[in-house]
């Protein structure tokens, strides 16, 4: 046994370091959050999947992005729009969360995370302290720019999705096609 260990010292050392990394370091990374969210979605466990998204923050930043895009040059409109977003972000986040749980539990193909997209998100992840970003294209050609932040409990959550209005428009078109009888 000692002879085996001596000949394979480097491999055993690498396995030990890899094991330490997988047990102690990986669970505290945004990449692990992406993997756990994919596992929850694949298992059709909506309650677990939504734990990796800060819906209030996503709704708020998406609303701010839409107000900025559609209200350029109109400062009063932007002010009123941001006020409305701040007022309705909480209730809207609850509605979006419930919708996401239902869709994940149903196994909606629109919410599935293809392995290539997950790999792209992990490989292209840029971490800066308690924030992280990733940008990738999914199998439908949609561009995703996702921001993560570490919460006060130490867990990473999605806090922002850029260009969400385009993604929502695409999802709405898919939903209407599915509901329209052929």
Q: How far apart are CA 157 and CA 137, in angstroms?
A: 20
Q: What is the pLDDT of residue 54?
A: 93
Angle at 84 between CA 99 and CA 161, to 5 degrees: 50
User: What pLDDT is attached to residue 71?
Assistant: 67
Give the pLDDT confidence score for residue 83 in this predicted structure.
84
pLDDT at 148: 94
Strand-by-strand arrangement of the 156-162 sheet: 126-128, 131-137, 143-150, 156-162
- Which residues is 128 bridged to in the sheet? 131
What residue segments make up the domains of the chain, in order of their start?
30-179
Residues 6+ apart with CB under 8 A from 135: 124, 143, 144, 145, 146
What per-residue confidence (pLDDT) applies to 7?
78
Angle in degrees, CA 54, 57, 63, rounded to 5 = 135
Q: What confidence tens digit (pLDDT) does each residue in 3-15 have?
A: 877 778 888 888 8
Q: What is the C-alpha separation between 51 and 37, in angstroms, rounded?
A: 8
Low-confidence ranges of the chain (pLDDT < 70): 71, 73, 139, 171, 175, 178-182
Q: Is the pTM of this model over 0.95?
A: no
Q: How many residues does the chain have?
A: 182
What pLDDT score was predicted for residue 181?
59
């Amino acid at each position: 046994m000692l002879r085996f260990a001596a000949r394979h010292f480097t491999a055993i050392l690498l396995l030990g370091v890899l094991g330490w990394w997988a047990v102690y370091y990986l669970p505290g990374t945004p990449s692990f959050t992406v993997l756990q969210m994919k596992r929850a979605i694949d298992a059709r466990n909506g309650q677990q999947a939504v734990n990796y998204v800060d819906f209030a923050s996503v709704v708020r930043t998406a609303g701010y992005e839409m107000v900025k895009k559609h209200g350029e040059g109109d400062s009063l409109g932007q002010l009123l729009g941001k006020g409305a977003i701040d007022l309705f972000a909480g209730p809207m986040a609850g509605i979006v969360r419930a919708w996401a749980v239902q869709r994940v539990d149903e196994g909606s193909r629109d919410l599935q995370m293809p392995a290539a997209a997950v790999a792209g998100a992990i490989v292209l992840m840029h971490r800066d302290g308690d924030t992280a970003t990733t940008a990738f294209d999914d199998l439908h050609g949609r561009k995703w720019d996702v921001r993560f932040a570490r919460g006060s409990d130490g867990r990473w959550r999605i806090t922002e999705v850029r260009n969400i209005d385009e993604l929502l428009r695409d999802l709405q078109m898919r939903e209407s096609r599915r509901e329209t009888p052929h």
